[in-house]
Structure 1
């Protein structure tokens, strides 16, 4: 049986720790995906009570949703409310939308005293940007169409 000096044992412990540190941090050496993560507009488990649009609103009545104060829309209110539950956005670097007018939508959730205010901007390029709590997000045009309909 080989006998190791105290210095040799210390060196083995040091090298073992360095190898463990390298193994635990190995994932930081791998390339990151180029697409930013998708974020939900509202929490998936949130209970929507009302969605206020500039010219109409959608309100929960018992277990269904109905349109209030506006013209008949081409999307069923249940479908529009469900779209808000599952809508996802990506963080955007675009925040220069000075020339575009916002389309403001307020979503009221159960158990929260303040509504969540979203400002939708359609840029000249056709891209739709959402401002929420001073952060900018990019959203698919088809999803935006389902969420808010025609933005005026």
Structure 2
């Protein structure tokens, strides 16, 4: 008899390969796309989705939504922007504090924080707190993006 802990972990059949995307519901799809393009993401594609499979998947009846898939420059991360035509989107608190339960924020590594902030402000971006030098290592900030989502930016310094 052998001890599984001595041999190391056994392969599992149902494992995660990668995180594919994060979905964000917005009320103005074009403005959200423009914001994320300005941030540096690329528009991968747009589509309208509807039908019984979509209804069953998301647990709502009569779904018709427009989506835009945004891809990070490295090709590994994606943000799905969704605008519901039907049923209408439910209002959340777009100014919820960062300690609110649920999804907290999306973080992006950037190479020039000041340039990114200057480009995003005309698209409605507002700092949540301050731009700080985190533990003497790298600049970091939180800002509000489309639909009030919190976005963190970390400037790579090495």
Q: Could you tell me the TM-score, scaled by structure 1's length?
A: 0.23
**Which has more helix, going by share of residues?**
1
Structure index of larger Rg: 1
Q: Could you tell me the TM-score, scaled by structure 2's length?
A: 0.22
